[in-house]
C-alpha cells in the first residue's frame, strides 16, 4: 500500500511540474519542464549521495574504530540479502543517522558521532536496520527525485511571479490569465511541498516496519526513537531543510512545525506502531 501511495504521489508531483511548465510557457514550456526534470533527476541519481555526504563533512568510518558496529551491520546485511554498504561518520554530537546512495550496491549509511556514543546495542541495531530498509526499498533515490521535482516547481513558480509582475499591466484582456498564473505561482510550491513530505512520511513508516522484522525486536527501534527525539530537542543537529527528510528522526523536530509540513510522521505514532507489532 505504501509503495502504491508513493508512486501516486510522485506521479502527482511530476504532473504538477509539467502543468506549471505549461502555464509558464505553453507547450514549449511543458517540453522544457520535462527536459529539465529529466536532467535534474539524472544529476540527482548520480551525484546526490556525494553532495549530501560532503554537506555534512562525512568521512568513511574505519572498521578498526568500530568493529562491533561493522559486525552488526554485516550480520543485518546478510539477513536482508543486500551488499554491505559503506559506513560513514559525521562529526556532530547530536545522535542521528541517514542512508544515501542510488541503489543497494552504492549505498552509504552515515552515523553521527553522537549516535555511536549514546545508543545501546539493540537500539543501534534498530536504527541501522531502519536505514538498511531504506536502502532495500530504494527510498533515498525516491526521496531525492521528489525533492528535486519540488525544488524545480518552486523555481518555475518563482519565474511565473516575475512574468506576472512584468506583464500584468500591459493588456487588460490578459489580466484574468495573469491573475490565474500568479495564484498558481503561490499555490504550486505549497502543493509540491505537501506532496514531497507525504512521500517522505509514508516511507518512514515502511522503514520502521522493515527494521522491526529484520531485527525481530521492535522495541529496540522504539527505544532508539524515544532517545533520538529527546536528544534532538536538547542538542539540535546542524542540518538543512533540504536534507532533513534523509534522517531517521527529523533534525528540525525541535522547532515548531505544523504536522502537515513535517518531513517525518509523528514520533509518538511511529513508536506506537512498533510496540503494537509485539502483539502480532
Judged against a pLDDT cut of 90, whether residue 64 lies above it is answered with yes
Q: Return the pLDDT at 62.
A: 97
**C-alpha closest to that of 195 among 248, 235, 163, 147:** 147
pLDDT (mean) for 263-273 = 91
pLDDT tier at 4, thresholds 50, 70, 90: low
Q: Return the pLDDT at 153.
A: 74
Whole-angstrom Cα distance, residue 271 to residue 280? 15
pTM metric for this prediction: 0.77
Query: Domain span at residue 214?
Result: 2-279
Q: Return the pLDDT at 72.
A: 97
Among 22-31, 84-93, 178-187, 195-204, the range with the most confident prediction by mean pLDDT is: 84-93
pLDDT tier at 95, thresholds 50, 70, 90: very high
Beta strand pairing call for 86-90 and 59-60:
antiparallel
User: pLDDT tens digits for 175-216?
Assistant: 445 666 666 667 777 777 777 677 777 889 999 999 999 999
Dmax over Cα atoms in the chain, in whole Å?
A: 72
Q: Give the residue, 56 or 26, on which the prediction is more confident.
A: 56
Query: Does residue 123 have an active-site annotation?
Result: no
User: pLDDT tens digits for 9-21?
Assistant: 666 777 777 777 7
pLDDT tier at 256, thresholds 50, 70, 90: very low
Out of 123, 131, 204, 226, the active site residue is 131
* Least confident window among 27-31, 65-69, 129-133, 219-223: 27-31
Is the four-CA dihedral 15, 20, 23, 26 of positive or negative sign? negative
pLDDT tier at 246, thresholds 50, 70, 90: confident
Whole-angstrom Cα distance, residue 224 to residue 212? 12
Residues of the chain above pLDDT 70, percent = 68
- Whether the CB-CB separation of 213 and 144 falls below 8 Å is answered with no
Q: Where are the beta strands (DSSP E) in the chain?
A: 59-60, 86-90, 97-100, 108-112
* Least confident window among 12-16, 91-95, 180-184, 263-267: 180-184
Return the exposure string of 152-165: e unless at least 16 CB atoms fall within 10 Å of the residue's CB, then b: bbbebbeebeebbe
Q: Give the residue, 43 or 269, on which the prediction is more confident.
A: 269
User: pLDDT tens digits for 132-182?
Assistant: 999 998 887 677 677 667 767 777 776 666 665 555 544 544 444 566 666
How many domains does the chain contain in total? 1
Judged against a pLDDT cut of 80, whether residue 226 lies above it is answered with yes
Q: Return the pLDDT at 139.
A: 83
Q: Return the pLDDT at 78.
A: 97
Q: Give the residue, 70 or 150, on which the prediction is more confident.
A: 70
Amino acid at each position: 500500500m505504501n509503495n502504491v501511495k508513493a508512486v501516486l504521489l510522485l506521479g502527482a508531483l511530476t504532473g504538477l511540474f509539467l502543468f506549471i511548465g505549461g502555464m509558464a510557457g505553453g507547450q514549449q514550456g511543458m517540453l522544457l519542464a520535462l527536459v529539465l526534470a529529466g536532467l535534474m533527476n539524472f544529476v540527482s541519481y548520480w551525484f546526490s549521495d556525494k553532495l549530501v555526504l560532503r554537506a555534512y563533512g562525512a568521512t568513511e568510518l574505519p572498521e578498526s574504530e568500530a568493529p562491533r558496529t561493522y559486525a552488526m551491520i554485516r550480520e543485518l546485511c546478510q539477513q536482508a540479502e543486500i551488499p554491505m554498504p559503506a559506513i560513514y561518520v559525521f562529526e556532530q554530537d547530536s545522535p542521528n543517522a541517514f542512508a544515501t546512495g542510488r541503489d543497494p550496491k552504492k549505498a552509504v549509511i552515515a552515523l553521527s558521532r553522537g549516535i555511536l556514543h549514546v545508543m545501546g546495542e539493540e537500539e543501534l541495531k534498530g536504527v541501522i536496520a531502519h536505514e538498511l530498509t531504506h536502502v532495500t526499498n530504494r527510498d533515498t533515490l525516491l526521496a531525492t527525485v521528489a525533492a528535486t521535482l519540488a525544488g524545480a516547481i518552486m523555481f518555475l513558480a518563482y519565474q511565473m511571479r516575475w512574468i506576472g509582475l512584468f506583464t500584468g499591466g500591459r493588456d487588460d484582456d490578459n489580466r484574468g490569465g495573469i491573475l490565474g498564473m500568479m495564484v498558481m505561482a503561490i499555490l504550486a510550491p505549497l502543493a509540491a511541498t505537501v506532496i514531497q513530505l507525504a512521500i517522505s512520511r509514508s516511507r518512514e513508516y515502511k522503514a520502521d516496519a522493515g527494521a522491526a522484522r529484520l531485527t525481530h525486536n521492535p522495541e529496540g527501534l522504539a527505544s532508539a526513537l524515544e532517545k533520538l527525539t529527546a536528544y534532538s530537542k536538547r542538542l539540535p543537529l546542524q542540518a538543512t531543510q533540504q536534507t532533513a527528510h534523509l534522517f531517521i528522526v527529523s533534525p528540525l523536530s525541535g522547532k515548531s512545525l505544523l504536522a502537515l509540513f513535517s518531513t517525518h510522521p509523528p514520533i509518538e505514532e511511529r513508536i506506537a506502531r512498533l510496540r503494537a507489532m509485539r502483539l502480532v
